[in-house]
Amino acid sequence: MQFALLTFLFFAWGFITCLNDILIPHLKSVFNLGYTEAALIQFSFFIAYFVGAIPAAAITARLGYQRALVAGLATCAFGAAMFWPAAEVPSFPLFLAALFVLALGITILQVAANPFVTLLGTTETASSRLTLTQAFNSLGTAIAPWVGGWLILQQSGAGARQVQGPYLAVSFILIAMAIIFAKSRLPVVSEKIEPFSVAAARQALRSTPLRLAVIGIFAYVGAEVSIGSFLVNYLTNVAHMTTTEHEAAKYVSLYWTGAMIGRFAGSAAMQRIEGHRALMFAAIAAALLVGTSTVTSGQTAGYTLLAAGLCNSIMFPTIFALGVSGLGALTSVGSSLLVMAIVGGAILPVIVGGIADASGLKAALALPALCYGYIAWFAAKCDRDEGISVAPREGHGSRAGVSVPH
């Protein structure tokens, strides 16, 4: 029951995050924005990870994993509720503020939930376990474009107020989840949570895997979000696979469905295949697919870009698990640094949007391809440096201390 609650939590924040891909074309049309301005939607959302990761670590260290999850859900609910006044005005800056608050809540969830999952079992299966929960996160991202396209893009003439109902419903669901988590008996992890500090961060960053993984998370999230952010426009205006944004939203669902399928399959495969080797294969394939999309046209360009979603599948959980491996009491600190690196989803889409405004969307895809190239190098280094991904947590052998309250 407890693991089911955690997997549903991953599903919920995946759904919320992917709704941004529908908000971008909708608000781009409502407020007559360029690609760079529209990318501020992702910037406002993902910059919260950088700003909020350290406070989130402090909250987790002070409250513990379970109560931190409740605090994160409550913050998310407030941010989602802010969409109602933002649409009433309507005000693009107020929309950005609502997205920022919403993402602050998800930041707390990320800092608490990801390491929580890695600690609930052996170090050797941490990547597989986190990949499984991330698979449900991908289920949320796969469903969101369909739901968002139907509720928001199908009636584009309704203007900004079209988002009020969907986000108010999200707010109510998040409040209900916060109540359920507050009353649930989740496993208690006995491993000490080190509060975030500059000294603790420096100590954690002595770990080579963590340093490289921070860059890896920045590159991965930046590439994935950049592609997802402009897929609707790419499929309608460049690949010409459809003529309407509503229909393009269905194709966006394929991008995220690929990630979901890959994570379920990857969770099983990585019981036998070392995570860093699977990561290297996926990153190389992603770089090749994105590169192919830039030099082809029509459906070939569209489907090769969509196929990159399948390659994205195992990247985040595998990079994350490699980064926090062996950190012991510093796991929460390392998690915070990795969550801060999610700011790649704020910075790279703006750069990609700027390139797209200047040279077109095809040229802009070169940046995500380079990001996948770095991830492939990181995975190859893990393969060369024996022990980089299997170091036991200090003082805990192969299993973190876990107990379930009665």
pLDDT digit string (tens) for 36-66? 999 899 899 999 989 998 888 888 888 888 8
Flag whether 382 is in a domain.
yes
Q: How buried is 296 (Cβ within 10 angstroms: 0-12 exposed, 13-18 middle, 19+ buried)?
A: middle
**Share of residues in the chain with pLDDT > 70 (%):** 87
User: In the chain, how many domains are there?
Assistant: 1
Q: What is the pTM of this model?
A: 0.76
**Share of residues in the chain with pLDDT > 90 (%):** 40
Flag whether 401 is in a domain.
no
Would you place residue 158 in the very low, low, confident or very high pLDDT band (cuts 50, 70, 90)?
low
Q: Which of 213, 401, 225, 211 is nearest to 320 (CA)?
A: 213
- Give the chain's length: 406
Would you place residue 151 in the very low, low, confident or very high pLDDT band (cuts 50, 70, 90)?
confident
Flag whether 157 is in a domain.
yes
- What CATH number should be reported for the domain holding residue 56? 1.20.1250.20
Flag whether 405 is in a domain.
no
Asked, as a colleague might, if the bond just before 90 is cis with ω within 30 of 0, I would say yes
Residue range 315-336: mean pLDDT, rounded? 83
More confident residue, 197 or 125: 197
Domain boundaries, position 200: 2-392
Residue range 204-229: mean pLDDT, rounded? 93
Q: Please report the pLDDT score of residue 328 as a whole number.
A: 77
Flag whether 403 is in a domain.
no
Residue recorded with tokens 């201390």: 401
Q: Which of 322, 339, 397 is nearest to 68 (CA)?
A: 339
Residue range 79-105: mean pLDDT, rounded? 95
Q: Quickly list DSSP for 197-247.
A: -HHHHHHHTTSHHHHHHHHHHHHHHHHHHHHHHHHHHHHHHTS-S-SSHHH
Among 42-46, 71-75, 227-231, 399-403, which range has the highest average pLDDT? 71-75
Query: Rounded CA gap, 60 and 69, in Å?
Result: 8
- For residue 189, is pLDDT > 70? no
Q: Where are the beta strands (DSSP E) in 53-128?
A: none
Flag whether 269 is in a domain.
yes
Q: Please report the pLDDT score of residue 383 as a whole number.
A: 67
Flag whether 110 is in a domain.
yes
- For residue 374, is pLDDT > 80? yes
Flag whether 117 is in a domain.
yes
